[in-house]
Amino acid sequence: GAVVSQHPSWVICKSGTSVKIECRSLDFQATTMFWYRQFPKQSLMLMATSNEGSKATYEQGVEKDKFLINHASLTLSTLTVTSAHPEDSSFYICSATGGLGHNYGYTFGSGTRLTVV
């Protein structure tokens, strides 16, 4: 089945530094990848949609200069949290789809727990 690998699974960084999170589709080509953020005891909130070879589209209220997304190939999308602050601490999850029309069952990565100290 479709597998999405996310790395790292957890990271601790100092305030003001940048952190890169990778999302890879291992056995299919992901035309579209999505990045979500989940705060403790809350639901998943979509941050941005990443299409291979084009600029990401961000949801309202998400700063594109702070959350840099690159989808350079059909199997890799990266999210870079720039100048991280403690309020950016959260669980970041990516998902990927091969764009198979009616198939909404796109696969999620296992998430990255970011803690900014």
Partner 1 sequence: GQQLNQSPQSMFIQEGEDVSMNCTSSSIFNTWLWYKQDPGEGPVLLIALYKAGELTSNGRLTAQFGITRKDSFLNISASIPSDVGIYFCAGPRSGGYQKVTFGTGTKLQVIP
Spatial neighbors of 49 by CB under 8 A, at least 6 apart, are 32, 33, 34, 56, 57
C-alpha to C-alpha distance for 13 and 42, rounded to whole angstroms: 23
Q: How far is the CB of 91 from partner 1 (least distance, A)?
A: 8
What is the CB neighbour count within 10 angstroms for residue 50? Answer: 25
Given the complex with partner 1, which of 5 and 82 has the nearer CB atom? Answer: 5
Residues of this chain that interact with partner 1 (CB under 8 A) are: 4, 6, 32, 34, 42-46, 49, 91, 93, 95, 97, 99, 102, 104-111, 113
Q: How far is the CB of 65 from partner 1 (least distance, A)?
A: 22
- Asked whether 20 and 89 are in contact (CB, 8 A), the reply is no
Given the complex with partner 1, which of 14 and 41 has the nearer CB atom? Answer: 41
Q: In this structure, what token pair is assigned to residue 109?
A: 């990565």
Given the complex with partner 1, which of 40 and 86 has the nearer CB atom? Answer: 40
Q: How far is the CB of 90 from partner 1 (least distance, A)?
A: 13
Short-list 97, 90, 88, 66, CA closest to 79: 66
Q: How far is the CB of 72 from partner 1 (least distance, A)?
A: 20
Given the complex with partner 1, which of 82 and 113 has the nearer CB atom? Answer: 113
